[in-house]
Amino acid sequence: MTHPSDAPSVASSCDRRRFLGLGATAATAALGGCFGLGGGDYPNYTDWIPPSGDGLLVGYLDFRITRDSPRADRLLPLMLPSRDGGEAAEFVPNFSGLDEIDDPLLGWPLQVGGRLIAGAAIGIAAGGLGYLVDREKPARIVDELFVADGVAVGLGEIDEDEANRRLREGTDDLIGQIAFESSGDYRGFTIYRPTTPGFDGVTGLSGSAVVVADTREELEAAVDAQRGDGSLAVDEDGTFEWLVDEGGRGDLVAGWKGTADPGEYMFGDTDDLIAKDLLTDRDHVLGTVDFAPDENEVTAELAVQDGGLDGSGRDRLKSELGTSSGDTSFTGSGRRLSATGSYTGDVFDVDFSQPPKTPTPPENEVPSGDPPPVVAEAVPGDAVEFSYDGGRKVKVGLTADMAVDKVTMRALESEWEGSTTTPQKGLYFYVYIDPEGDEVVVTATVDGETGVIARREYP
């Protein structure tokens, strides 16, 4: 979905105009999955992807492993919520090692996939159906979630009556109260558009899928592909077919073919990705991570096709892939190279502990004292207001325009963080707090200097 050209962007830590390009690093800690094949020889997500003359970018994740294995939550705390409660839900996974995984064969698809799927989740939420990707209610989450070239798709058993009611009433979440209305049908999908003037985008709803796109043409192309009347990229494009075969059959899939710009749909600066210079600038790359919780094992695969895979370029890639794997193998020749590595669950370095009874100090301290003069001058008095009705959400609203580079909202205990680089009067966020005790801090940044402009303790 898109904002009007004169509207502020409202999403966690991102100022893009396309809702489907939005995401949050925290969402990486809420998502996960188990692989499922589509009706043919390829994964489900390929059924929805028509050929593209330009680049093609894909992120895929399936949540079903949490109900298929009682060990899933313990092996995958970095991304999996508990589907039905149980013993694992009584413990808090302390996972801080994702950025410390220096093996790009495993770390790169986890990082890129988490960011792309976060964008897909935000896309579904912006399309009016955020409850289908709400990690606080994991039993209602869609079974599979993926994004391909900005079209977000969620698959599962969907109560159409409830979804229709929520769309028509609008949900006061993410971007505020936006209602949707039906604008016709298309091949088994009811099509909805936002009623708020100036907001674009389209949502398609059926009993087994929700599709969110910037335009109806994009949505119809995805539906046509899945219905079997449109061409599929995996059938028409030999490079994409090879990427899927070698690096796209797993629980989490991430990558691209051709001129796709990962920064277009991925939260955060791609400069901080693992092995950016090794993988992120490649012409075609697709990576996957496959989890076997009951065996405490993880398998990672990566497929790369690039003109730089000759001589020293190939040798360097092989030397840096699989450095933490117990068993790494390589195949391919010429401009193509694929790698496979196996890992134990211990590679994630996960700690489980009882939930804290009292708030603990945040690892990253916020600025103390009065804000720097440059910040104080740029922010009018009473520019921030808080609203709290109990529970886990605090509404943080901006009541005035401010000449700053960025405004950041952070809950110190839950570690939820969101920001905008286009702060304007009337813009608001929902900050998710620890209901046992938290503090919400709002900072502003001007010319590289950051200071606190508002703070409030809860409950």
DSSP readout, 306-331? -TT-STHHHHHHHHHTTTT-SEEEEE
- Spatial separation of the C-alpha atoms in residues 70 and 294, rounded to whole Å: 8
Order of strands across the sheet that contains 384-388: 384-388, 393-398, 428-432
User: In the Cβ-directed half-sphere of 178, how many Cα atoms lie within 13 Å?
Assistant: 24
Q: How is residue 398 written in tokens?
A: 């901006």
Q: E strands along 276-316, which residues?
A: 284-292, 297-305
- Residue of 105, 166, 102 lying closest to 133 (CA atoms): 166
- Spatial separation of the C-alpha atoms in residues 146 and 45, rounded to whole Å: 7
Contact of 306 with 293, CB cutoff 8 Å: no
Q: What angle do CA 450, 452, 454 make, to 5 degrees?
A: 145
Contact of 47 with 37, CB cutoff 8 Å: no
Q: Which amino acid is at 426?
A: G
**Neighbouring residues of 364: CB distance < 8 A, sequence distance ≥ 6:** none
- Residue of 176, 212, 166 lying closest to 196 (CA atoms): 176
Contact of 257 with 284, CB cutoff 8 Å: yes
SS (H, E, C) 207-276: CCEEEEECCHHHHHHHHHHHHCCCCCHHHHCHHHHHHHHHHCCCCEEEEEECCCCHHHCCCCCHHHCCCH
Q: Which CATH superfamily is domain 373-458 in?
A: Immunoglobulins (2.60.40.10)
Backbone torsions φ then ψ of 71, nearest 5 degrees: -95, 0
Give the per-residue pLDDT at 172: 57
Query: Residue 76: how many CB atoms within 10 A of its CB?
Result: 28
Q: Is 376 left (phi over 0), alpha (psi -120 to 50) or beta?
A: alpha
Domain parsing of the chain, residue ranges = 19-348, 373-458
- Spatial separation of the C-alpha atoms in residues 113 and 92, rounded to whole Å: 23
- Residue of 262, 65, 67, 242 lying closest to 149 (CA atoms): 262
* pLDDT in single tens digits along all 459 residues of the chain: 433 322 222 232 222 222 222 223 323 333 322 223 333 489 999 999 999 888 898 999 877 765 555 544 444 434 443 334 333 333 333 334 455 577 899 888 887 887 788 778 878 888 889 888 876 666 677 889 999 888 999 999 999 999 999 999 886 554 456 789 999 999 999 999 998 776 778 999 999 999 999 999 999 999 999 998 878 999 999 999 999 999 999 888 999 998 777 666 664 555 566 566 678 778 899 999 887 766 777 899 999 999 888 878 899 899 999 988 888 999 999 999 999 999 876 665 433 333 333 333 344 567 878 899 999 999 998 899 999 877 777 888 899 989 999 898 888 988 777 777 778 787 777 787 887 899 999 999 999 999 999 999 998
Contact of 439 with 413, CB cutoff 8 Å: yes
Q: How is residue 186 written in tokens?
A: 């298309």
Residue 438 bridge partners (DSSP)? 458
- Spatial separation of the C-alpha atoms in residues 72 and 377, rounded to whole Å: 51
User: Is pTM beyond 0.85 here?
Assistant: no
- Spatial separation of the C-alpha atoms in residues 429 and 361, rounded to whole Å: 23
